[in-house]
A and B are shown apart, each in its own frame.
Chain A
Amino acid sequence: MSTAFAVQASEPDNYYGYRRFKKGAFEFHRDEYFVHIRWPKGTHTMAADIFLRALQRDIAWNFFYGTVNFDGVFGTLNHYGTVDMFAGRFNDAYRKAGRDYNETYKSEDLMATFKAILEDWTNRGYDPFAAPEETKQPYGRKDGDNKRAIERQRVTAKRMVGLPGDTPQRSDAGGYPVNRHFADVPQDQPEVYPEPGFEGEVSAFNLFAYLSRSDVTWNPSVCSVVKDSLYCPTSEEFILPVEHGNDRVEWFMQLSDEIIWEIKRKETGAPRARVVCRAGDICAMPADIRHQGFSPKRSMLLVWENNSNAIPALIESGKAPVVPVVF
């Protein structure tokens, strides 16, 4: 049985047209360009597009693995059932000054407020999942909505894309045209010759063609599953809208083009490295960092996750290392 969680929202502002929202001691409001966040120990301002693109991912990923930093100050930390919303929690200066603040909610409770904010603050024609060149601007006073764009579901194959009963392949007819940046990607399909009785098991699909038809950016989708090993490929363009601080090691295999990653310390935000990934490169993101990617052209990235629920506690307790391999 599902529980409806109350969302504290004001009437629309007389001038800007947007509602104000309150969750616990956090308050949110937006104007034509900016989102303003207030908590008992401080205030924070973000550009509306940066906030909305981050909020869209946090919702689509169900708070994802670990920390989703909307920027260097505001974000969420997933405890898988409950979630923290914080300000300054992963910012060295805020911590030292005692200006950081944190509240914990049931995940569905905070999700209800986040979805209400996203729905109210996303205007007609603006798609937070899209690359900047593919969408209208999010600025200005309240102007309609874009529910069709923000309610897209994250794809999660149970075994492999294209298998009977599993996530279908993408096609023009299904509403997934080839993206403009992947117009040269071959759309051929593997030759599959099953013997009678094995039609459902002898199976293959063109992953690169599938990715070339993705209508979202920075939204990993499960395409193949080996127990807790999840292949989550995605198409990337412009900037990863969050600084992701994982609670486990994740891996990136660059399938096409190039992404530059900025790596910072998870707890403080201090720079550690830049990682340049080109086609065929594969690398780990340690469990004690946060990362943000920059993709000059739309590119294909294979995000590889270990979905085991046991890992965060193992790393937190020091029983498992923050790096996947020691050599």
Chain B
Amino acid sequence: MTDVKTVFGSLRNYQKGGVEVIDDDPRNYVFSNVFEVAEKSQPYERVAVGKNFDYVIEALRAEGTSPWYACAHDEFALVMDGRVEVRLMKPETPLVPSDKSGALRLTAAPSGRKMGRVVAGRGHMTLLPKGSAYQFHADQPSVVTIQTIQGDVTVERWADICQTK
């Protein structure tokens, strides 16, 4: 047995750090916590917690079954807490123009071929392949971060989630 304790966070148990200002404005660091953001979000609200020009990291609370999404470029889903099923479809025809950035929320399940599914736990990263459609399902509240590009579904509320003083 090891006495090492690696500390991961979860919805139920996270300890947020913070910015200790010497000669600065804490807003420069855009500091938030993905578990806190997910805790205060609606299921599958894709809240930006990181932004670098067009690129974003979204944090979402996975709970129940999500809408279907489609995207013209690769995205990557990293489970930070809980257990999440990712269902993948290959649409019969492209659902998103090739030059459109970010995920698009679909109004209904797409028609096409089943690509497969992934059941991912904490620390597992799943490829959401370009040109596919995907849906999340979680029996229990879980937390997922997504590496993607800012799009129609990306929610920005920096002043609400970030340290300001």
Partners in one complex: yes
A257 at the interface (CB under 8 A from B): yes
Q: Is A256 in contact with chain B by the CB < 8 A criterion?
A: yes
Indicate whether A208 sits within 8 Å of B4 (C-beta atoms), given known contacts A226-B74, A280-B9, A304-B50. no
CB-CB under 8 A from A249, the residues of chain B are 52
Contact between chains at B115 and A202 (CB < 8 Å): yes
Given A282-B33, A324-B30; A206-B123 close (CB under 8 Å) = yes
Residue A151 interfacial (CB < 8 Å): no
Task: Given A224-B76, A226-B76, A280-B34, answer yes or no on A184-B4 (Cβ-Cβ < 8 Å).
Answer: yes
Q: How large is the interface on A (under 10, 10 to 19, 20 to 34, 35 or more residues)?
A: 35 or more
- Tally B residues with Cβ within 8 Å of A: 70
Q: Is the CB of B33 within 8 A of A284?
A: no
Do A279 and B116 touch (CB < 8 A)? no
Contact (Cβ within 8 A) A207 B123: yes
Chain B residues whose CB sits within 8 angstroms of the CB of A308 once the complex forms: 53
Indicate if the CB atoms of B88 and A278 lie closer than 8 Å.
Answer: no
110-164 of chain B: CB within 8 A of chain A? 113-127, 129, 132, 145, 147-149, 156, 158-159, 162
A190 contact from B18, B23, B120, Cβ within 8 A: B120
How many angstroms from the CA of A149 to the CA of B116 in the assembled complex? 41
Q: How far is the CB of A99 from chain B (nearest CB, A)?
A: 25
CB-CB under 8 A for A229 and B147, given A202-B117, A256-B8, A283-B31: yes
The reply to whether B16 and A274 contact each other, CB–CB distance below 8 Å, is no
Closest residue on chain A to residue B23 by CB atoms: A272
User: Is residue B73 within 8 Å, beta carbon to beta carbon, of the partner chain?
Assistant: yes
Flag B70-91 by CB within 8 Å of A: 1 or 0 each. Answer: 0001111010100000101010
- Taking the complex as formed, is A188 at the interface, i.e. its CB lies under 8 A from any CB of chain B? yes
Please, what's the 1-or-0 string for B50-63, where 1 marks a CB less than 8 Å from any CB in chain A? 11110101000000
Is B19 interfacial (CB 8 A cutoff)?
yes
Closest to B53 in A: A306
CA distance A201 to B118 in the complex (A): 11
Q: Which residue in B7, B36, B55, B119 is a CB contact (below 8 Å) of A258?
A: B7
**Does A204 contact B124, Cβ atoms closer than 8 Å?**
yes
Q: Which residue of B lies closest to A205 (CB)?
A: B125
- Indicate if A148 sits at the interface (CB-CB under 8 A): no
Contacts of A320 in B (CB 8 A): 53
Contact between chains at B17 and A251 (CB < 8 Å): no
Give min CB distance, B89 to chain A, whole Å. Answer: 10
> Roughly how many angstroms separate A278 CA and B17 CA in the complex, as a whole number?
5
Interface centre among B28, B35, B132, B148 (most CB of A within 10 A): B28
B147 touches A226 (CB 8 A): yes
> Chain A residues near B162 (CB, 8 Å)?
327
Residue of A nearest to B14 (CB): A280
Chain A 202-218, CB within 8 Å of chain B: the 1/0 string?
11111111001000000
Q: Quick one: given A190-B124, A283-B29, are A198 and B90 in contact (CB under 8 Å)?
A: yes
Taking CB atoms, residues of chain B closer than 8 Å to A286 are 28-29
Is the beta-carbon distance between A185 and B147 smaller than 8 angstroms?
no
A263 and B4: CB pair below 8 A? Answer: no
B15 within 8 A of A: yes
A185 to B123, CA, bound (A): 10
Q: Is the CB of A272 within 8 A of B158?
A: no
- Decide yes or no whether B43 CB sits under 8 A from chain A: no
A313 lies within 8 A of chain B by Cβ: no
Contact of A275 among B17, B88, B116, B127 (CB under 8 A): B17
Chain A residues, CB < 8 A from B90 = 198
On chain B, the residues within 8 Å of A277 by CB distance are 17
Complex Cα gap A325–B156 (Å)? 10
Q: Is A22's CB within 8 Å of the partner chain B?
A: no
In the complex, which residues 272-304 of chain A have their Cβ closer than 8 Å to any Cβ of chain B?
272-286, 297, 304
Question: B49 contacts the other chain (Cβ, under 8 Å)?
Answer: yes
Write 8 A-B pairs (CB below 8 A) sorted by A numbering: A160-B125, A203-B127, A227-B149, A253-B34, A275-B18, A278-B33, A281-B32, A282-B34
* Chain A interface (Cβ < 8 Å from any Cβ of B): 159-161, 163, 180-186, 188-195, 198, 201-209, 212, 223-229, 231, 248-251, 253-258, 263, 270-286, 297, 304-306, 308, 311, 320, 323-325, 327
